[in-house]
Amino acid sequence: MTPSTAARLVGSLLATVPDFPQPGILFRDLTPVFADARGFAAVIEELVGPYAGRFDAIAGVDARGFLLAGAAAYHAGVGVLAIRKGGKLPGEVLTETYELEYGSAALELHPQQLARDSRVLIVDDVLATGGTIAASARLVQRAGYRVAGISTVLELRELDGRRRLGDHPVHVIHAV
């Protein structure tokens, strides 16, 4: 199978930053992809393409997932849900806590934004260890919606994040 236009553009535009945010970490920076009009458009089209007609809304994960989810929802003609870091949403929220390498974090979602059993596509920039996306999927389900699929721009294969996502369909544009 030949790489898609989006995969080729991500591969050519992706920046690798050594020792960020701490020594020994090799940070994969997608901001050059987002800044390139052709690259961003190709990414948005490919994030939703495999799931066309199979979702009613798109959920973006705080924070870079918001950039993708807003554009993808507009492109697909559906609404967008914000999955926020803990403590960022007012009013009634569902909270899902998950483990990080050192400690824990929480994500939140406003309930009752969509009809029960609505199909939600979860999008984010990077699939790394899978903890954030798995917590997002649990939030979507706890809200009474169905996870239509998971779509990310980049996957860090060595971290094996897919194992935490159960049997949810996963689409990744570019893997390293």
Which positions are catalytic? Answer: 64, 101
d(CA 170, CA 1): 17
What are the φ/ψ torsions at residue 165 (nearest 5 degrees)?
Answer: -100, 5
d(CA 81, CA 32): 25
Helix axis angle for 64-76 and 37-48, nearest 10°, is 70
Looking at the DSSP assignment, which residues form a beta bridge with residue 14?
Answer: none
Q: Which two tokens stand for residue 54?
A: 């199979």
**DSSP character string of 134-146:** HHHHHHHHHTT-E
Helix axis angle for 5-13 and 37-48, nearest 10°, is 130
